[in-house]
Amino acid sequence: MFKGSITALVTPFRADGSVDEKAFQEFVAWQIAEGSHGVVPCGTTGESPTLSHEEHHRVVELCVEVAKGKVPVIAGTGSNSTEEAIALTRHAKEAGADAALLVAPYYNKPTQEGLYRHFEAIAKSVDIPIIVYNIPGRSVVNISVETFQRLAKLPNIVGVKDATADLARPLQMRVAVGETFCQLSGEDATATAFLAQGGVGCISVTSNVAPRLCAQMHDAWAKGDLKTCFALRDKLMALHDVMFVETNPVPAKYGVSLLGKCRPDVRLPLVELSEGSKAKVQAAMKAVGLI
């Protein structure tokens, strides 16, 4: 259903702090032209925690306008409030998104039963394919394989974005949940290893700045061209590292600004990239031939 290199899109801002709608739509169009296999508006990389509900809705709508019918749009609609997540997911469906990406509830620290009921409530409220986002580093809770076994029985919970950095997980999931459950990596640096363990793609930060290279790597894997795949894997490693030299999406947005696609501005409590980190991002992008 969803596979390959799927970009977790940055959200461009104007100098006055408002969403730059023109830059965003041009960026989505560029991602598609460069070969990205899907796009994710309003994820963590899109600074969803600091978007108002109105802005969140608008960004999803803008993305769908450009991408619908070309590549899948997987709208970020997660929240630590179940009712808010339901409302955002309903809007994503109404806007025409192909699926919703829902992060594990952060800060609340629900039990495994609480996690199950959270996603169950959303799945029963909105008829749209749902990808569950498991990222313990940000949400503090880790969704167990056993909980995924239960969730996978709900017809519209179709996959996982796995950012656990545990490469045993995709194989454990494949054995426990089944090979048709869509497993997408949330860790750029281990994306190819994740594919080897049963994954089908990656929701990527690095593809904000290198969409063509990321897409080519996944295309090579799909064709069984391991030589090309691994060469691209190695080439991209320096970029993966610098995309997380400071908190995501600050380095990615700075990298996109070097390509002339948007301003590097982020919203508080995030702050601009330090000068030392800027130099590292520039060096890596030059090494890969992006600038």
Residue 132 CA neighbour count, 13 Å, CB half: 30
Annotated catalytic residue: which of 161, 253, 261, 278?
161
Q: Tell me: cis bond preceding 249? Omega within 30 of 0 counts.
A: yes
> Residue 129 CB: number of other CB atoms within 10 A?
20
Structure tokens at 175: 């054995």
Q: What's the one-letter identity of residue 265?
A: D
Write a three-state SS string for the chain: CCCEEEEECCCCECCCCCECHHHHHHHHHHHHHCCCCEEECCCHHHCHHHCCHHHHHHHHHHHHHHHCCCCCEEEECCCCCHHHHHHHHHHHHHHCCCEEEEECCCCCCCCHHHHHHHHHHHHHHCCCCEEEEECHHHHCCCCCHHHHHHHCCCCCEEEEEECCCCCCHHHHHHHHHCCCCEEEECCHHHHHHHHHCCCCEEEECHHHCCHHHHHHHHHHHHHCCHHHHHHHHHHHHHHHHHCCCCCCCHHHHHHHHHCCCCCCCCCCCCCCCCHHHHHHHHHHHHHHCCC
- Kindly name the residue from 3, 116, 133, 261 that is annotated as catalytic: 133
User: What's the rounded Cα separation, in Å, for the pair 281 and 127?
Assistant: 41
Is 116 an active-site residue? no
| Annotated catalytic residue 161 | yes
Catalytic residues: 133, 161
